[in-house]
Structure 1
Amino acid sequence: MALNPRFAGQKLVPSGSGKTLHTLEFFLDYVCPFSAKQFKTLYEIIPLVKQKYPDKVQFIFRQQIQPWHPSSTLVHEAGAAVLRTNPDKFWDFSERLFEKQTDFFDVNVVNEARNKTYERLAKIAGDVGVDSKKVYQLLEVPDKPDKDGNTNIGNGVTDDIKIMTKTNRLVGVHVTPTVMFNGVVEGGISSSFTKEDWDKWLAKNIT
């Protein structure tokens, strides 16, 4: 599936080259424990991919909001804000956010004002070298109507979240994590994959 250029930071080509033969897409939710588990191992195999499969595979991180966790929208908005601010840091930000994902679980946000949650997310972006002020400016929701009296105005990344959601709906992905290989759901890859499992899978499928 094509990647909108505004979300270019979601693509990771371990070789550093734009020439690729295969595409692995990962539909992940920042507040899904199984997504965190899969992302951690995925990030650890990047050196392996660079060594064994240069110019043969690229990874795409598809942000998959799971609405039964209200904070899921907020954390993915932060990912979208990082893509706008410093796309080269998107994967570093994602790694850090997954490490801190429990801070944004239901119980830990239920009594927190929305903009306060955004402040914490912007700080995480700052921890990996992204301008936290710019991230927060994109996330902050005004507490007053706009000039037309509209009180349902969203924030600076609302349109980006709409595009991401529409894109994922087109391929009917529901469960996180879901992996697609060259545009087809790959049910053989699970969140329990170890580095050894990935090594075997890549050797079999990346030619």
Structure 2
Amino acid sequence: MALAPKFAGQKLAGGGIHPKAVHTLELYLDYVCPFSKKMFTTVFGTLKPTITSSPYSDRLVTIFRQQIQPWHPSSTLTHEAGAAVLRLYPEKFLLFSAALFDQQTDFFDINVVNETRNATYRRLAKIAGSVGVDEGEVYKLLEISDKPGPDGSLNSGNGVTNDVKVMVKANRLVGVHVTPTVLFNGIVENSISSSWTKEQWEEWLAKNVV
């Protein structure tokens, strides 16, 4: 599936324009899913030098698709923070994601249930600040007003609500449910596991990409 230009920061690719890129690997991950954390850490961490260098750098595009899992209410809030970083500093999105995954348990149900929504946003903005993103600008996009809008609206959302709507619509088109889910060239690749090591990924890449 095509990636909207506004979400270009979700793409990990090694050589700019990639005129020969013929394969797309899409990872549907949720910030508060432990299995998503495992896959992100391997693919965008230990595997990154492999997929951003020859021969993969000009043949493979890897995309982190943000997948909100609504049974964890904080999932929406964390992905809104990701959307805010994409809006402001797309080149910092993967760094922010790594920092957020490192602290994901801080946003599990029992660790957010007694704080206000804006308080959770403040903590997320602070994580963005830790990777060089303007914390105040992130919070400005996330904050929910406690006053009615100019038109009297009581349900007006925040500065990234429309971006999140686009993400959700795109994900619904491919019917992704569980996280992580991997699509390779538009087809669900069920053979890939979140527990795969760097070596298992490299073996799979060698068979399917080169």
For normalisation by structure 2, the TM-score amounts to: 0.96
Structure 1's unaligned 5+ residue stretches are: none
* AA matched with 2:39: Q
Aligned residue for 2:64, secondary structure, equals strand
Distance 2:105 2:54 in 1: 33
Aligned to 2:10: 10
Q: Does 1:36 find its partner at 2:37?
A: yes
For normalisation by structure 1, the TM-score amounts to: 0.98
Aligned residue for 1:25, secondary structure, equals strand
Check the 8 A contact 1:24/1:181 in 2, yes or no. yes
Q: Deviations over 1:49-83 (max 9, x none)?
A: 21442201111111000000000000000000000
Distance 2:133 2:54 in 1: 29
1:168 pairs, out of 171, 174, 193, with: 171
Q: Does 1:184 find its partner at 2:198?
A: no
Q: Deviations over 1:28-62 (max 9, x none)?
A: 00000000000000021111121442201111111
Aligned residue for 1:24, secondary structure, equals strand
Check the 8 A contact 1:14/1:46 in 2, yes or no. no
Cα drift, residue 17 of structure 1:
4.0
Q: Percent identity?
A: 66
Aligned to 1:80: 83
Structure 2's unaligned 5+ residue stretches are: none
Cα drift, residue 21 of structure 1:
1.4
Distance 1:105 1:37 in 2: 16
Aligned residue for 2:183, secondary structure, equals strand
Between Structure 1 and Structure 2, how many residues are aligned?
A: 207
- With 51-60 and 162-171 compared, the bigger mean Cα shift is at 51-60
Distance 2:5 2:163 in 1: 11
RMSD: 0.9
